[in-house]
Amino acid sequence: MSIAEAKVADNLRTAKVDAAAPSGAAAEISQPPSTLDIFLDRGFRRSTLIIAWFIVALMFWLVISIARQALPAVRSYGISFLTTTTWDPNKAQFGILPAISGTMYSSVLGLIIGTMFGLAIAIFLSEGFLATGIEWLLKLLRLEDKRPWSSIPDRLEDFLKITVELLAAVPSVVYGLWGIFVVIPLVRPAADWLHGHLGWIPFFGTTLSGPGLMPASIVLAIMVLPTISAISRDALVAVPPKMREAAFGMGATRWEAILAVFIPTAATGIFGAVILGFGRALGETMALAMLAGNANVISWSLFSPANTLAALLANHFPEADKIEVGALMYAALVLLAITLVVNVVGTLILDRADASLKGLR
Amino acid sequence: MKTTVGVSLSIALLLCASFAVRQQTGVAAAADNITLQGTGATFPAPLYQKWFSEYNKLHPEVQVNYQALGSGAGVKQFQQGLVNFGASDAAMTDDEIKAVKDGVVLLPMTAGSIVLSYNVPDAPSPLKLSREAYIGIFLGKIKTWDDPAIVKANGGAKMPSTPITVVTRSDGSGTTFVFTTHLSAISPDWKAGPGAGKSVNFPVGVAGKGNPGVTALIKQTPGAIGYVEYGYALQTKMPMAELENHDGKYVPASLASGQNALATVALPENLRVWIPDPQGAEAYPIVTYTWLLCYKKYQDPKIAETIKALVTYGLGEGQKDSESLGYIPLPSNVIDKVKKAADQIS
């Protein structure tokens, strides 16, 4: 660092001298790079290239090594692994249909809840609702031009944004514990009422016995919230000013502008955010292992316990023997495939969102 | 600009390197310390950890890292030679022992009971469960707490009609192994159905990870019942059911009832024995030893000596800690046998 800084400072000094006496040391500035410069420059470029490719190779190596360990299980169980429902290491019967359905069900449910709130937060933070309210309050108190007060709206908006993003930093185990001790008792009365009065609807078909899809999905929703709100907000902020002005210029009210112009314009970006959140929900392990109930049950009921692929892996891997390890690797491969597809789709959609806005910028 | 980045990157690398070197020399300076690595069962982990930290106070040069990853992981890592010792609630099978070329010494270090903990508001205290009742509950045949089998066991007491939620372990564990071995021993239906193992296909219920997970679920679910270790239930103040034993008596889990159960079975030569259904009017029905897995031959004689010293400490001073942590202290004839077996380590 110090060498580089000294060099830069030196260059600056010579530049100043040059400015004072243009005829003097002009040759010094335009000198060719030294051998050391060239060497470092190339070395840096190559090392970044190697590191970048190393990550790609690592990814492939990961997939290949999992696939290799999964091979015996793939051979002996084949497609029935995906369609049967028993996981019994004692009898060497392995099927992950309940885990697949539980993974998808809890993720989709968590995503629906998470998107509702995430999008609401994104609109709230990007369209200046907070600022308007506070500015009105400040005006009322005649403080709008006074120094420390006038910056409050911006600060508060930043604070809210950071708070939502901080949700992503809470460890999964903490969410799990919070789910067991807070969410489950909280949803139990509602669940009992729904089951008692509307039990004929398949979604409320069973009682909530503690852990189950509903509490798991609620906690999952909170976990995907930061992803969805942050990216949706970026998408909404990226709506070109021309569009905004045009919408208001046509006489649209704020709500009309948001619902009919801004959200459709940002739709691809928001959809990409949802897909990325989906990817996160699919892979979430610890909180779900604690909240989903780990029971191999397939049910439409929101209150029924369930299992997920990630939880299955986390629960069984430490004690697994040889055949079970193969089966677990097979399950990991399935999870990897699902997550990969979801993430690739999400990235493609985000790319398209960028491309479609190009002409408008 | 690029040069600046390049130079700063290389300097950062150099800094890292020098830091790493300094750390290494730090390790080298403390070379006469002995660090032992162990992995295994979660069941005896609190006791082992207490022993190792107490031992470390007496002998500061000995540092023992015990990772409670589970019995299966303990056996696996022990077989692969990744650790200095293992620990398992299910001991090791003959096949597993054969795979270890340095030889294996199985040392029962402590014993414990497994209890049925429950959360039934308005239930008589303590709840009594007949064999018919708790097998029926875990097989999913008994679905509510006012089932005649449960009412009968409790002398006709009034039971709530709350549905039963069975809570099991989601992760493979020695606790599950001991519990299902017991169920298989007393119920042909269980043996033919889910069977015995570290992880079985329970017909009903929800599952939590580890003893803490199971306990949390029981606490949060009215109508729940699940199996946890006695020591854990004791520390978390969970209610424990009195279980009907082999002689048809209802016995609470306690130190005495556990010791009575251990006394019913003599240890064989290889010190590997299970007590799936102890006889005797005062014996608690679900008890087990838990084993330390050591190699017969260690490359480093210093490590062998340290392990022997640790075992001696655990069998002597350490047994006093058993009681307060909810384990069953070993009977003195068992301690003598284990000490003799530990002499094979070299």
Beta-bridge partners for B38: B66, B85
Percentage, residues of chain A above pLDDT 70: 90
Percentage, residues of chain B above pLDDT 90: 38
Tally of CB atoms within 10 A around A245: 10
Query: Which among B71, B165, B201 has the least Cβ separation from residue A319?
Result: B71
Question: Minimal Cα distance from B223: which residue of A?
Answer: A209
What would the pLDDT profile of B253-293 be if each residue is shown by its tens digit? 988 899 889 888 888 888 888 888 888 888 999 999 999 99
Q: What is the mean pLDDT of residues A27-44?
A: 85
What would the pLDDT profile of B237-253 be if each residue is shown by its tens digit? 999 999 999 998 999 99
Q: B2–A305: do the CB atoms touch at under 8 Å?
A: no
What would the pLDDT profile of B16-65 be if each residue is shown by its tens digit? 444 444 444 444 444 478 899 999 888 888 899 999 999 999 999 899 99
Q: Which residues of A touch B205 (CB under 8 A)?
A: 295
Q: Assess whether pLDDT exceeds 90 at residue A155.
A: no
pLDDT of the residue at A132? 78
- Which of A104-113, A171-180, B65-74 has the lowest average pLDDT? B65-74
What would the pLDDT profile of B180-200 be if each residue is shown by its tens digit? 999 999 999 999 988 888 888
Q: B172–A184: do the CB atoms touch at under 8 Å?
A: no
Contact A196/B at CB under 8 A: no
Q: Which residues of A touch B165 (CB under 8 A)?
A: 209-210
What would the pLDDT profile of B115-141 be if each residue is shown by its tens digit? 999 999 888 888 999 999 999 999 999
Q: Which residues of B touch A90 (CB under 8 A)?
A: 194-197, 199-201
Q: Which residues of A touch B216 (CB under 8 A)?
A: 177, 180-181, 290
- Tell me if A128 sits within 8 A of A134, measured CB to CB: no
pLDDT of the residue at A28? 66
What would the pLDDT profile of A220-272 be if each residue is shown by its tens digit? 999 999 999 999 999 999 888 888 899 999 999 988 999 888 988 888 889 88
Angle, helices A152-166/A213-237, rounded to nearest 10 degrees: 140
Question: Minimal Cα distance from B163: which residue of A?
Answer: A209
pLDDT of the residue at B3? 47
Q: B3–A7: do the CB atoms touch at under 8 Å?
A: yes
pLDDT of the residue at A357? 61
Q: What is chain B's length?
A: 346
- Tell me if B127 sits within 8 A of B242, measured CB to CB: yes
Q: Which residues of B touch A207 (CB under 8 A)?
A: 163
Q: Which residues of B touch A44 (CB under 8 A)?
A: 2, 5-6, 9
Average pLDDT, chain A: 85
Contacts of A40 (CB under 8 A, 6+ apart): B3, B6, B7, B10
Nearest of B45, B23, B96 to residue B229 by alpha carbon? B45
What would the pLDDT profile of A313-358 be if each residue is shown by its tens digit? 988 887 777 788 899 999 999 999 998 888 888 788 777 766 766 6
Minimal Cα–Cα distance from B32 to chain A, Å? 33
Query: Which among B9, B11, B73 has the least Cβ separation from residue A319?
Result: B73
Contact A33/B at CB under 8 A: yes
Q: Assess whether pLDDT exceeds 90 at residue A128.
A: no
Q: Assess whether pLDDT exceeds 90 at residue A29.
A: no
Q: B226 or A137, which is more confident? A: B226
Nearest of A121, A311, A111, A295 to residue A219 by alpha carbon? A111
Query: Which among B4, B171, B206 has the least Cβ separation from residue A209?
Result: B206
Q: B206–A212: do the CB atoms touch at under 8 Å?
A: yes
**CA dihedral sign of residues B310, B315, B316, B321:** positive
pLDDT of the residue at B238? 92
Q: B145 or A28, which is more confident? A: B145
Q: What is the mean pLDDT of residues A151-175?
A: 87
Tally of CB atoms within 10 A around A224: 28
pLDDT of the residue at A10? 52
Q: A315–B195: do the CB atoms touch at under 8 Å?
A: no
pLDDT of the residue at B19? 46
pTM for this predicted structure: 0.78
Q: Which of A36, A319, A321, A323 to mutate to test the interface with B (most CBs of B within 10 A)?
A: A319
Q: Which of B11, B15, B206 to mutate to test the interface with A (most CBs of A within 10 A)?
A: B206
